[in-house]
Structure formats: C-alpha cells, structure tokens
C-alpha cells in the first residue's frame, strides 16, 4: 500500500463503501497536496465502481480553474490553500460531475511553500453534500509524507462523519 493508514481509518473506508452502496450515493474528489491519495484509498474498496465517480489531481492553479471551476479571482485573492478555494473545488465537483458528495483538498505538504500565514502542514478541506458546504483546516506535523498521509486520513474521517453520522 502507498502509506499505512490507521485501523479506524480503514474501518471508516469500509463504512463509507457500505453506506454509499446502500444509499446509492456517489463521491468525486479534487485533490491538490494529496496527489490522488484519497481517490486511491476510496477505490481500494471492493465495489467502489458503484459509488466512486471520478477524481481530479488539481495540483496547479490552472487545473483547479479548468477542471473544477475555481474562479481565477478566488485563487488570486485567497490563494490555492484557502477555505474559499476548497469550497469552490467541492462545489465545482458537484455542479460539473453531478456527484452527491464532492471533496476538495489543498494544502502545503512542504518542505517549502509556506508563508507566515500558511505554514507547512496546513491543509484545507471542503465538502459539498446536499447543498451544504463543510470546511475544515488542520495543521499536520511531520514531513511531506506524514502531512499527506494525515490529510488523507482526515479527509476519510470528514467523509464518514458527513455521510454516516
């Protein structure tokens, strides 16, 4: 496997798969700093083709604009790593792809790219489900790999909490 996930994260993945299959819900992802890692773990679940729609690795700002419709003005004003950008990513997935839940992730995995306001380890998450936007940010410790793994695990928890609880 790409990285070692915590046991509770594996259980959450299984619960997401069961729930989406039973409820006929679909998920799509737009990932930046996680580079497709969330999509990898979602599609590791047996039967994922029934509920996993598609994923975009929107690493560059131009990809965020073209693929999921993040307005250029949002990126210029707030930056790629911001609440506004991940909200636009999630909403863009739902409107463009027709999925039931869209999740956007953007962050600074390091070792470079940080600013005073945006340290290494800062990751923003945006979920759009049933017209409701949910955003969250976390600052994860560790190197690039640890930040990416923690972001994937947190995204899985957010999806599970949004859909199942």
If one counts the domains in the chain, the total is: 1
Question: Would 3 be classed as within a structural domain?
Answer: no
Question: Would 101 be classed as within a structural domain?
Answer: yes
Q: 20: which 2 tokens?
A: 């989406």
Q: Rounded to two decimals, what is the model's pTM?
A: 0.96
Angle, nearest 10°, between helix axes 83-97 and 61-68?
30
State whether the Cα torsion 143-144-149-155 is positive or negative.
positive
Question: Would 125 be classed as within a structural domain?
Answer: yes
Domain ranges, residue 87: 9-164
pLDDT in tens, 128-150: 999 999 999 999 999 999 999 99
Question: Would 14 be classed as within a structural domain?
Answer: yes
Q: What percent of the chain has pLDDT over 70?
A: 98
Question: Would 94 be classed as within a structural domain?
Answer: yes
Question: Would 1 be classed as within a structural domain?
Answer: no
Question: Would 4 be classed as within a structural domain?
Answer: no
CATH number at residue 64: 3.90.950.20
Supply the mean pLDDT for the chain. 96
């Amino acid at each position: 496997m790409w990285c070692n996930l915590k046991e509770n994260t594996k259980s959450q993945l299984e619960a997401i798969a069961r729930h989406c299959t039973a409820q006929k819900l679909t998920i799509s992802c737009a990932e930046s700093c996680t580079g497709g890692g969330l999509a990898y773990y979602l599609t590791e679940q047996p039967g994922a083709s029934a509920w996993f729609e598609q994923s975009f690795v929107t690493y560059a700002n131009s990809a965020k604009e073209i693929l999921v419709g993040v307005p250029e003005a949002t990126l210029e004003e707030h930056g790629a790593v911001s609440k506004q950008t991940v909200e636009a990513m999630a909403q863009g997935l739902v409107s463009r792809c027709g999925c039931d839940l869209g999740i956007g992730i953007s962050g600074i995995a390091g070792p470079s790219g940080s600013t005073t306001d945006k340290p290494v380890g800062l990751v923003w998450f945006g979920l759009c489900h049933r017209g409701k936007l949910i955003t969250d940010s976390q600052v994860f410790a560790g190197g690039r790999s640890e930040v990416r793994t923690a972001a994937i695990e947190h995204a899985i928890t957010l999806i599970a909490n949004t859909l199942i609880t």
